Each structure stands twice: as structure tokens, then as C-alpha cells.
Structure 1
Amino acid sequence: MTGTRKPRVAVVFGGRSSEHAISCVSAGSVLSAIDRDRFDVVPIGIARDGRWVLESGDPERLALTAGTLPSVDGDRAPVALARGTGGTDLVVSDPASPPQTLGEVDVVFPILHGPWGEDGTIQGMLEMAGVRYVGAGVLASAVSMDKAYMKVVLADAGLPVMPGLTITRRAWEADPDAVRRRADDLGYPLFVKPARGGSSIGISKAHAADELDQCLATAFEHDPKVLVEVAAEGGREIECGVLQALDGTPETSLPAELWVTGEHEFYDFEAKYVPEEATAVDIPADLPDGVAEQLRGMAVQAFEAVSAEGLARVDFFYLPDGSLVLNEVNTMPGFTPLSMYPQMWAASGLDYPALVDRLISLALQRDVGLR
């Protein structure tokens, strides 16, 4: 950043993954919360076909409403990051006029969920461009996005995970009976999910062996790599937010418990994001003495095991026998008004605008390159 101008924040959202709409909703909330007295803000949308455009940034246009999922308008003016001797600029290329430079980018806030955004791809591009950004780096993003590898890393760090197996489309097509036998060995019920997905898209529950084929078909629609996992029957879903302090120390929020009500058997897409669907949240979660502290300590262990930066939401199962099991580490959790991560921090004393400000401040002060 040069002179006395305000730091310029590029909020990047949309993307090519199946979580495009949720990214737009998250971005709308972030755009509403950024302090415009402190930061210049440029909204950049990535269309479903991968085109980068200069978006309007109107939070109302990015809102999730009943029956309508927001998306990036790919017909807007194309925009690109251009690396120069003085920094990395945003350049708008409108066919009707000469290229226009919007100025140097000081930090990118990538509100992207799923593949081609939360998985280390855009993080690698920003590293190559020498641009600071909010959130985890390349390795932590890639490992946490791929649930199969995430489980390997967490288990190696001594953290408990649910038993499961990884199935590729090629293995399924080559020998489906072998896959069925491996699933039978785990025991039913089983959850079947895209290995590199999110927002509960493509997840289904196989209650018995005769449901496995259809559950795999559903997951393969979203990812050629699928995770089949033992269901945490009777387990309570507890989440914990991790956020670095300005000195880099990981801090944890109050844990929250999700209660899925109505007709939903588990925390699926509709239960997460559609306002008419019913979910209940307890913050803080009602846990026995010592369990909350144990869970918060494990959340920091998981954060550090995957080498996360900035923020993460760590999800647990609290099982009937009193044990805690790691479910997932989300390096760019949802930022919609219904999302758990902002709710947990608000209950812990850090409201939404302050949370956004902390994340941008963290990104601005960290080094570019190897850390």
C-alpha cells in the first residue's frame, strides 16, 4: 500500500463449484459489514464458467430468497489481476472502452466455498501474484477440502475421526461388488458424501446395503471421489470457531450445538440455508463440565494440524459414550446470516463487523510467500 490511501479489499465470490450460490450469499453479508471508512472495497464475481467480472456488490441482489439462488452475472465487465513492478493491480477490460486500472489490491477476501476456491487453487494463484489474502494457505486449504486426506492428517495428529473409506468412480465402475463388501465391513448406517464438497450438497445416508448404490450415484454427481463414513448414531453435532488473534495465537469461540428439527434426518442443505426450514442452535452448547474445554483444545489442535491460518470452523460429534470425534475442518466456513461461525463469535463477544475487520487486519499484516 502506498501513500495515505485506504487499503483496497477485493471481495471475490461465486466460483465454479456447486456452492456458487452460498458463496454469493456469504459475500453479500461481508460486503455489508466491511467498514468503508477504513477500506476501499471492490466486489469481484467469478461466474459459473470461470469468468472474473466486476460485480455490483449489491447485498440485496446476493441474498438467498425462497425459490431463488443468487449467482454472479458473467456478462459484466471482465476483470483481472495484473502484476506490475509496484504491486498487483485490478484491471477492467470492457470491450467498449480501453482497459481501466482500478488500482493496487492490498488484500483479497476470497468468499469461495468448495473446489476451485476453498481448496488451495485460488490461494496458489494469489501467492503467485504476491497478493495477501484472508484465510488458510495452499496446503491447509487443499487438505481440509479433501475430507479423505483431512482424516489422515487429523488421525496422524492423534485426533479421533469416524471410521470410513474412500471410493473413486473408477474403483466403483471396475468392481462394484468389492466396494459393497468394504462398505458392509464398516456396518450400516453410513453417510456417503463427495470427498471435496461442502454445504451438505450431494450427501445422503445409506440406512442399509440396498441404499448404497443410489447414495454413491448421488455423491458421484458432484465428485469422482467419495467418502463413505460410519454414521455417528446418537451423536450430538457440536461446532467451534477458531480465529487467530492479531499476534497469531489461535482463539476459540463458545461451542455451539445444532439441533435439526422437522422432517430432516440430518443437517442437509435445506436445513442449513432455507429460512423456512427448522434448525435450532444452542450457544453455548450444553455440555458436561470439562467437555467444552476439551473440545476447544481439540479445535486448536485440528487448526494447527492442517496448518490453518486466520479462521476455521471445526465440527465434532459428541457421542453417547462421552467421547468427542472430529468431523471436519472448514477453512472458509459460511458467512451467511444463518451461518454458525459468525453466530458463535457473536455469542463470544465479537460481532459480525468486528469479525470481518479482524480477518482483513490479519491478512494485511502477514507476509507474502512462505510463512
Structure 2
Amino acid sequence: MNESRRRPRVAVVFGGKSSEHAISCVTAGSVLAAIDREAYDVVPIGIATDGRWVLESGDPERLRIEGPDKLPQVDGDRAAIALAPESASTSLVVTEPTQPPRALGEVDVVFPLLHGPWGEDGTIQGLLEMAGVRYVGAGVLASAVSMDKAYMKVVLAAAGLPVLPSTTVNRREWTRDPERCRTRADVLGYPLFVKPARGGSSMGISKVHDRSELDDAVAEALRHDPKVLVEAAAVDAREIECGVLESLDGRPQTSVPAEIRFSEEHEFYDFAAKYLPEEHTELDVPADLPDALTRQIQELSVRAFEAVGCEGLARVDFFVLPGERVVVNEINTMPGFTPTSMFPRMWAASGVDYPALVDRLIQLALQRDTGLR
């Protein structure tokens, strides 16, 4: 094939070492099924739970959730794959026992569908920057800030965006002086939420109704992250989300907002309510909001996107408190990305269907220069 006319090669990277490994696999299955194979040469790369990079099968059917005890994962026994930086490009090289290494050719863009630490937090973005490879989504700093909920709040508040009161507890503080940590939590009032500072998919999160429940909640969060966010609860709030997507000329655009409503069996939007089909969660797309409130949420979404320096895409999550007071809950630089996830559904309702969304993100990455962003 004439190299100047070949299809761009897209490496879809998924799995990873975080607790969101399975969710990343599900996301990848959807993207792999949607990428236009006439327009792109696609290489599926799985990162096993122990960190090994392998050439995956790319079969979307293998990457589905079949139940709470049947979560997909990367097959770490497959052939190893690595990025091999060269003078003017970066290639993919596959190695197998007893076989000589074989090159798959130059990679043009990486689509990192990793959720949580060691992926969504700037780590793989830094690796790709070092390798000189274009990639989809936010850069190193924006990814790291958005992943760390404590620092995200600092940045958003400094930009004048409304956030809920909170305090941060790390493992060292909790071990040395737990009573001081409890007192800081008491100041926020109850109920409150305790969550891993750099977690996602609602893993490790607890709703704490009074002080007697605090220690167990902190212990659970510390199982996922040595840094814990303790945050005031948004009582009687509506949960609203809004998607941000850059246009091909770099302008951030917003989707229609959507609302999450879950059954009384769940006190908050936990893992089961998010991902298990038998659970009762309703997604209103678009949300039933007054026009002025919709515009406010869209404006705040763009401000949050720009405050942390996002690129490509983001989902901004809000609480709408009684009296229509809006606060930013968090920003996700690589939101859930299956066709039934909120981000793609909001954009489908805004006129950008799933295959077009995937293509837009790849095109944005392809036109971006490597080097400092």
C-alpha cells in the first residue's frame, strides 16, 4: 500500500490497572464496534490488570457485562505489544514467545479508553507525550486535575465555579490523628459522602448518615485510594449532566443536559444503578428543565471545561439544589462511552450519533500537533 494514502492507524487502548478495568473494557467494546473500518486501520490494545500490554482480539461481544459476577477483562496471556518510538514516528511492535518481534506499522493516534488511575489521570497521556503520539482527549495536567476530585474542586473554585464544601483525608493523617479527621468531617454536617479522591464508577463511595458510620466509610474508600474526599451531601438535589465536545475548529460545544433518576433502593447513583441492567435507573434525555436553567448548566459546563484545560470531550456533572441553585459535582475527561452511557446519549439527542461522535474525537486528535499542548 502507498504509505501516503494508507488509512490512519488508530490504537484503541483499554483495560488498565484501576478498579474500573471492566468498565473500560465495556467502553472499548462499543467503540471498536462503531469505528469505521473503511476509514481507519484499528488495533485493539488491552492493558491487563497487572499492567501488561497485549494485542487483544477486539471482539466487542467478549467485552460485555453479563452480570455482577461476569465482568469482562483483558486476556493478559495474549501476545505482548509495545510502542516503539523512532526518529519521526512511533510504531507498534508485537512480541510472542519463541517468535521474532513483528511490527504492525506506525500508529497515528491512540484512543485511550481507560477509566480511573493509571489511565484517565494523566499517566498514559504522559507516556504518549513522551512517545510523540497523538491521542484522543485531555492532556496530562487536565487529566490529572480532573481525576483528583480534591484538586479539581480547588481549580473550579478558583475559577469562580460553585462546588460543595469538602475536606481531604489521606492515609497518613487517618493513621496518625483520626479524631482530628473526624472533627473536620463533623464541620461539614451529616449526611455526607466519603469517596476515593481519584476513583470512579461510584466504587468505594459511601453515604454517611452520622459520625458512627464515618470510620467504616473512610476504611472502604482507603481500600481504593490512599487519598479520600469527604464531602457535604447535596440533600434533595437533582443529578444533572451535560456533555462538552470540541468542534473541529476547537470551540467547546455543549449537548442538551440530562437527568439521572434512580429508584428508592439506592441512596445515590452507585455502581449497580449505573451498570447492572436489572437495576431501576431512569435517564431523562433531555432533562426537564426551565430554559434559563438549561442555559446556565451549559454555560457552567464550558467554564469548567476551560478552567481545567480540557480538550476533545468531557462530561460535567451537577447537583441542582432546591431553589435551582446549581453546583458542579465533577468533570470527567473520559466519561462512560457505551451507546447507552449518558455522554453519547446526550450527544445523540443533540444531533451527533455514536459513530459520528467516535469519528469526531479521532479527527480532533489527528489534527492536533504533538509536543507541548
TM-score range, shorter chain: over 0.9
| 1:362 partner SS | helix
- Post-superposition offset of 1:260: 0.8
The residue that corresponds to 1:286 in the other structure is 288
Q: Distance in 1 between matches of 2:88 and 2:80?
A: 22
Aligned: 1:325 with 2:288: no
Q: 1:347 aligns with which of 346, 349, 367?
A: 349
The residue that corresponds to 1:45 in the other structure is 46
The residue that corresponds to 2:164 in the other structure is 162
Can you give the 5+ residue segments of structure 1 that lack an aligned partner in the other structure? none
Q: Distance in 2 between matches of 1:179 and 1:130?
A: 43
**Does the CA-based 8 Å contact 1:272-1:338 persist in structure 2?**
no
Counterpart amino acid of 2:341? S
| 1:214 partner SS | helix
Aligned: 1:87 with 2:68: no
**Does the CA-based 8 Å contact 1:273-1:338 persist in structure 2?**
no
- Post-superposition offset of 1:147: 0.3
| 1:233 partner SS | coil
The residue that corresponds to 1:76 in the other structure is 78
The residue that corresponds to 1:30 in the other structure is 31
Q: Distance in 2 between matches of 1:290 and 1:203?
A: 32
**Does the CA-based 8 Å contact 1:272-1:279 persist in structure 2?**
yes
Runs of 4 or more off by more than 4 Å in structure 1? Answer: none
106-115 or 58-67, larger mean C-alpha shift:
58-67
Q: Distance in 1 between matches of 2:76 and 2:102?
A: 18
The residue that corresponds to 1:187 in the other structure is 189
Q: Distance in 1 between matches of 2:123 and 2:242?
A: 26
Q: Distance in 2 between matches of 1:78 and 1:138?
A: 25
Aligned: 1:205 with 2:218: no
Q: Distance in 1 between matches of 2:362 and 2:65?
A: 25
- TM-score w.r.t. the length of structure 2 is 0.98
Aligned: 1:123 with 2:125: yes
| 2:61 partner SS | coil
Q: Distance in 1 between matches of 2:232 and 2:3?
A: 54
Q: Distance in 1 between matches of 2:221 and 2:96?
A: 39
Counterpart amino acid of 1:49? D
Counterpart amino acid of 1:326? V
The residue that corresponds to 1:108 in the other structure is 110
The residue that corresponds to 1:196 in the other structure is 198
358-367 or 338-347, larger mean C-alpha shift:
338-347
The residue that corresponds to 1:175 in the other structure is 177
Q: Distance in 2 between matches of 1:156 and 1:97?
A: 55
Can you give the 5+ residue segments of structure 2 that lack an aligned partner in the other structure? none
- Post-superposition offset of 1:316: 0.3
- Post-superposition offset of 1:337: 3.6
- Post-superposition offset of 1:262: 4.5
Q: Distance in 2 between matches of 1:184 and 1:85?
A: 57
- Post-superposition offset of 1:265: 1.1
The residue that corresponds to 1:245 in the other structure is 247
Q: Distance in 1 between matches of 2:186 and 2:123?
A: 35
**Does the CA-based 8 Å contact 2:339-2:354 persist in structure 1?**
no
Q: 1:257 aligns with which of 259, 267, 274?
A: 259
Count of paired positions: 371
The residue that corresponds to 1:64 in the other structure is 65
**Does the CA-based 8 Å contact 2:149-2:198 persist in structure 1?**
yes
The residue that corresponds to 1:7 in the other structure is 8
Q: Distance in 2 between matches of 1:180 and 1:262?
A: 29
- Post-superposition offset of 1:85: 2.0
Q: Distance in 2 between matches of 1:36 and 1:221?
A: 41
Q: Percent identity at matched positions? A: 72
- Post-superposition offset of 1:289: 3.0
| 2:195 partner SS | strand
The residue that corresponds to 2:21 in the other structure is 20
- Post-superposition offset of 1:288: 1.9
| 1:367 partner SS | coil
Counterpart amino acid of 1:256? A
- Post-superposition offset of 1:287: 1.1
The residue that corresponds to 1:132 in the other structure is 134
Q: Distance in 2 between matches of 1:307 and 1:348?
A: 23
Counterpart amino acid of 1:271? A
Aligned: 1:99 with 2:91: no
Q: Deviations over 1:59-105 (max 9, x none)?
A: 00001111310000000000000011241000001112110000000
Q: Deviations over 1:123-175 (max 9, x none)?
A: 00000100000000000000000000000000000000000000001101101
Q: Distance in 2 between matches of 1:217 and 1:239?
A: 29
Counterpart amino acid of 2:43? V
- Post-superposition offset of 1:2: 4.2
| 2:183 partner SS | helix
- Post-superposition offset of 1:37: 0.3
| 2:85 partner SS | strand
Counterpart amino acid of 1:88? T
Q: Distance in 1 between matches of 2:247 and 2:291?
A: 26
Q: Deviations over 1:330-361 (max 9, x none)?
A: 00001124311011001111110000000000
| 1:185 partner SS | helix
| 1:36 partner SS | coil
| 1:219 partner SS | helix
| 1:276 partner SS | coil
